[in-house]
Structure formats: C-alpha cells, structure tokens
Amino acid sequence: GQQLNQSPQSMFIQEGEDVSMNCTSSSIFNTWLWYKQDPGEGPVLLIALYKAGELTSNGRLTAQFGITRKDSFLNISASIPSDVGIYFCAGCDRGSTLGRLYFGRGTQLTVWP
C-alpha cells in the first residue's frame, strides 16, 4: 500500500519556539490533511489542502501542499503547552474516493513550559 513518511517522529521543544514537521509520499496526492490527536481522544482535523502550492493557516498553524504534490509540511508558531499531542498527516492519491486516507505514523510533540 501507499507509504507516507512523516518526520520527525518526536519533538521536544520549549514553549514559544516554532515547530515544523513534514510528510512525503511515494506517489502524487490530490489531498493533504493534518490532524492532531490528544491523549485518549480521536484525531481532530486541523487543516485540509486540495491544490498543489496551497498555503493555508489556522491560527498559529500553517500548512502547505507541496508543488510536486508528494509532500506537505505543517508549521506551528510560538508553541504553547496545549500544542502537546500527536500530529498526523494524511492524504488521498488519485485513485482514492470516499475519504480513503493514508496516514503517517505521527509526530509526537512535547512542549516544555
């Protein structure tokens, strides 16, 4: 099946620092999505991207759909303790319908006060 490589696997940062994580795929994707999962909860959609080159912000979060359509990144600016959690990238390739998403393994973010 489709492989999504998400990095880094984990990050330990100081409150106030900026964070960057990315995801790459082995084939062209039509959709990139970024989710956050808090402990004991289900993933929550943060940002959805549907066009190559698209740059979208949601508060302190910014995500971009790579021009090659094989990658995406998520940036978090001025991190705060509640940013702690696991961030997942997900995407659909050309043959996907019905939200059949491929998921990355996640980036575990820890923010020290």
Partner 1 sequence: ETGVTQTPRHLVMGMTNKKSLKCEQHLGHNAMYWYKQSAKKPLELMFVYSLEERVENNSVPSRFSPECPNSSHLFLHLHTLQPEDSALYLCASSQDPGPRGPGELFFGEGSRLTVL
Q: Which residues bind partner 1 (CB under 8 A)?
A: 4, 30-31, 33, 35, 40-45, 48, 50, 88, 90, 92, 96-106
> Which residue lies nearer to partner 1 by CB, 90 or 111?
90
- For the chain, what is the radius of gyration of the CA atoms? 13
Q: How far is the CB of 34 from partner 1 (least distance, A)?
A: 11
Q: How far is the CB of 37 from partner 1 (least distance, A)?
A: 8
DSSP class of residue 41 equals: S
Q: How far is the CB of 54 from partner 1 (least distance, A)?
A: 10
User: How far is it, in rounded angstroms, from Cα 98 to Cα 23?
Assistant: 22
What's the token pair of residue 6? 């998400």
Place of tokens 């900026």: 18
